[in-house]
Structures are given as structure tokens and as C-alpha cells.
Amino acid sequence: MELEHRRGAISYDSSDQTALYIRMLGDVRVRSQVGFEPERRSSHQYLCIDFRTLHGEFETLTSFLQGIKIEVLLSFQRYLHSSRLLRGLPQQIPLHILDEDYTGQARCMLEKVGNWNFDIFLFNKLTNGNSLINLTFHLLNQYGLIELFQLDMVKLWRFLVMVQEDYHNDNPYHNAVHAADVTQAMYCFLQEPMLSKSLTSCDILLGLLAAATHDLDHPGVNQPFLIKTNHYLATLYRNTSVLENHHWKSAVGLLRETGLFSHLPPEDSRNMEADLGSLILATDISRQNDYLSRFRRHLDQDDLCLSNASHRHFVLQMALKCADICNPCRPWELSKQWSEKVTEEFFQQGDIEKKHKLEISPVCDRASNTVGNIQIGFMTYVAEPLFVEWARFSDTRLSQTMLGHMGLNKASWGSLQQEQSSAEVPFEEKSELKNETRSIQTLAGLLLSDAVLHLY
């Protein structure tokens, strides 16, 4: 297999049993309008078609793809651009690049980047859709990490541009804006006294990079969907942390392609890649209870020692987990937008499953679920237990503010649910429905908690 002629695909290297995601500097292919590559040179014996074409443009492919199994249609390959090697930075990069590129309003917002009310949607508009690039670069620069680790400015900028491009903006939720939001939340947690006085510069660098890349190349569907459609990534990672492994290996591929850490000793570079992977893998929400139980044990025994590198790394994992699912803890105006976006992504997966006569995943059926009931379930069974323990660890104004927002948001969704029910149900049926609702609340809650653990 001639790896030097390939780019942007999973590469099976016989000397690498983990099958790292490697992007080689080779030819650049541009997708056709219907979203497939007719002459893809790949180790996989199937056509690589972006699964999102199934949702809106499947009819245009029906005659061509008749008889091909559904897994053939599923692909994680990002949209490639003919300017792939030339994008990002001009040939000569001034050191004052942020001042030249940012508008006054965006610079003003970055002065308050540690504010929990930071509006990432507004910042994304002010930066012309480049919130992830600009925010991450600013934070790395603010911490002095670019100078401390002697990171090449051109390589760093190119890396961030490629990271942002590898998020799919047509995903309602798992896109570059979500990554930027998680990165901003991670910064807020890094500023907390328990962490700021204990973390090393390497910890901070890895924490910010993990936040920026934690959902890299997310396809907009969950792990059970990949498993039941026999997607090759599910096979590659043996149905275990499939998406998280893919995000990590994709990040490693970009680090190696840009050579961002190439000036470091090989052992240091490998260690950083491994630690980055450990952080990203911690965001697998199906393992939420494992991490939460371990965190709770440490807090009960009061034995977390942040001078210990392994303990610091574990706390960093918990911080990233909090940042990843902190939407319910944001002010209502922001939290509501995120809730609607993530629910729409669930529903889009359900639409695909319904269209292809697959079993519809829990809470993915738009006909039988609402934003409110999904969010109330998520807050009750996933978010609240995590953030209560985080507040035990870091009992600060921020942690109490987050819990306060979550309580208000949960109540707001409950009120909206009640208003919708009152508007839809005749008066004489309301008392009967209330009794029925009480009888099934516990069971429904348990089922919903299991469902949401596999969706985020």
C-alpha cells in the first residue's frame, strides 16, 4: 500500500497494531456534489460516502447504490478542499496576528474569556466562524505556552485550522463551536484555585488541546449506531470507545502532519500523544459511572494529592468531562440553544434509522420525545451527580453558580413541559394522566438515564 499517495483516511500499517489515524501529504480529492469519491484509493473495499447524504440526498444515489449494504454508505471522511496545502496562514506571519485578524468586539470578548457567561455563539459570529481557532490560540498565548514549549507559530496556526476544518459544521451539536465552548469551559476550570496552583504547564497545554480536539471528526451519530450498522471504525476499535478512539487518533494524525511537536524529543512527543488520548477517552460517557465512582471515593477518603502526577491527570480528566457536558450549567439563554441543538442531532439520527428501517435509538424518535424530557433526564441522571461531586472537590463561586444555573434550567424545562401538556390535553383527562405519570416516572427515568449515557 502506497501511503505517500494517500491522505485523510484510516491507514492500516502492518507495523502498527493500533492502526493509527495517519494523514499523509499526498493527493487532494474533492467530493462530488452528491458526496462520494468515485475513485478512492483506499485499503477498504467499499465506496466512501458521507453518511449525511443518507438524510437528504439518498434518492439521487438510489439507482447507483442499489444492492449495497448500509455500512457501505457510512463514512467519517471529512470534506477535503483543493487548497488543503495552502490554507491557513500567509507565507509570512506577523507576531501580532491576533490584533490584525480580530475585530474590536472579539478582542473585547476575549478579555472576559474566563467569564462563565461567555457567549460562544456571539464570539463565533464575530470571528466569522473561526471561534475554535481564535479562542484556542488566544488561550495558549495567554498562558505563555507557545513560547515556553517553543511552538512554531505557523505550525500551530495550521494545526488549529485543520482541527477546526475536521469538525463537521453541518452537525447541529458536535461541531467546532461545541469544541470552542468546551475549550472555554476547560479554561474556566483550569483557573479554579485547586487546579491553578497545582497543574504544570504541560498539564495545561494538554488540557486545552484535549478540549479543542475531544470530538474531532465526529459524524453526528453515536456509538451504538456505528456498531449496529457494522461500521469499520466499530470493528477497528472492537466496539469500545469507538468515537473517542477515533477523535484521539485523528488528533494525533494532525499533530504529526503539522509537526507541531516534532522539535521535542521523540519520547516526550509520544508521551504527550498518549496523555492526550487518555484525556479524550475519559469523555466516553458510557464510562461515566466508572469515573464518577472513582472520583467520589477519592473525595470520601480525602486522598487526592495534586503533587502526584497521576492524581493531577485524573483531576484533569474530570475537568474535561465537566467541560464536555456543562451545557445544563450555563445561563438559560445559552443552555437552551445547546439543548435544542443536541436534541436535533439525536432526532436526525432517528430519522436516518427510520428511513433505513433500523431500530430507532432511545430518545432519537422526534415523534415521541421532546427537548424538555430529554434534558430533564440528562440533568437528573448524568449532569447533576457529576457537578455535585465537582463542587465537593472545588467548592467555589463558579461551582455553586453552575449548580444554581442547572437547577433553574431544569425547572424551566419542567415548566415548558407542563405548559405544553396543558395545551395539548383536555381538562377531564389531566387528573388521570397525572396519576399515570407518577406511576411510570421512576421506570422512565431509569430507562432515559441509560439512553442518554449512550448519546452524548
Q: Is 324 annotated as a binding residue?
A: yes
Helix (H, G, I), strand (E, B) or coil at 49: strand
pLDDT of residue 163: 98
Q: Cα–Cα distance between 313 and 301 in angstroms, integer?
A: 18
pLDDT confidence bin for 292, thresholds 50/70/90: very high
- The alpha helices in 220-308, defined as continuous H runs, are 223-228, 232-236, 242-258, 266-281, 288-301
pLDDT confidence bin for 317, thresholds 50/70/90: very high
- Is the model more confident about 91 or about 329? 329
pLDDT of residue 62: 42
Q: Mean of the pLDDT values across residues 145-162?
A: 98
Q: Mean of the pLDDT values across residues 16-24?
A: 38
Find where cell 460516502 sits: 49
Q: Mean of the pLDDT values across residues 359-377?
A: 96
pLDDT of residue 432: 52
In order, the DSSP letters of 191-228 are TSHHHHTT--HHHHHHHHHHHHHTTTT--SS-HHHHHH
pLDDT confidence bin for 227, thresholds 50/70/90: very high
Confidence check: pLDDT of 442 > 90: no
pLDDT of residue 190: 98
Q: Is 178 annotated as a binding residue?
A: yes
Confidence check: pLDDT of 53 > 70: no
Choose, from 174, 218, 231, 405, the residue flagged as catalytic: 174
Contact 363, 370 (CB under 8 A): no
What count of Cα atoms within 13 Å lies in the side-chain half-sphere of residue 18? Answer: 13
Q: Cα–Cα distance between 315 and 279 in angstroms, integer?
A: 10
Nearest to 315 by CA among 287, 279, 286: 279
What is the percent of the chain where pLDDT is above 70?
70
Q: Is 215 annotated as a binding residue?
A: yes
Torsion of CA 46, 50, 55, 57, to 10 degrees: -80
Q: Is 96 annotated as a binding residue?
A: no
pLDDT confidence bin for 420, thresholds 50/70/90: confident
Q: Among the listed ranges 63-67, 139-143, 144-148, 399-403, which one has the minimum average pLDDT value?
A: 63-67
Q: Mean of the pLDDT values across residues 381-392?
A: 98
pLDDT of residue 34: 29
Q: Mean of the pLDDT values across residues 353-372?
A: 96
Question: Nearest 5°: phi and psi at 36?
Answer: -135, 165
Q: Which residues, in sequence order, are bridge partners of residue 49?
A: 36
Q: Among the listed ranges 160-164, 253-257, 349-353, 434-438, which one has the minimum average pLDDT value?
A: 434-438
pLDDT confidence bin for 428, thresholds 50/70/90: low
Confidence check: pLDDT of 244 > 80: yes
Confidence check: pLDDT of 251 > 90: yes
pLDDT of residue 421: 79
Task: Give the domain 99-420+438-453 fold.
Answer: Catalytic domain of cyclic nucleotide phosphodiesterase 4b2b (1.10.1300)
**3-class SS letters over 400-456:** HHHHHHHHHHHHHHHHHHHHHHHHHCCHHHHHHHHHHHHHHHHHHHHHHHHHHCCCC
pLDDT of residue 283: 98
Q: Mean of the pLDDT values across residues 242-264?
A: 98
Q: Identify whether 454 is a catalytic site residue.
A: no
Q: Is 175 annotated as a binding residue?
A: yes
Confidence check: pLDDT of 426 > 80: no
Q: Is 214 annotated as a binding residue?
A: yes
Q: Cα–Cα distance between 90 and 45 in angstroms, integer?
A: 39
- Is the model more confident about 243 or about 3? 243
Confidence check: pLDDT of 132 > 50: yes
Classify residue 428 as exposed, middle or buried by CB count within 10 Å of its CB (0-12, 13-18, 19+): exposed
Q: Cα–Cα distance between 195 and 446 in angstroms, integer?
A: 34
Q: Is 375 annotated as a binding residue?
A: yes
pLDDT confidence bin for 429, thresholds 50/70/90: low
Q: How is the chain split into domains, by residue range?
A: 99-420+438-453
pLDDT of residue 104: 84
Q: Is 275 annotated as a binding residue?
A: no
Tens digits of per-residue pLDDT, 115-130? 999 999 999 999 999 9
Q: Mean of the pLDDT values across residues 151-176?
A: 98
pLDDT of residue 217: 98
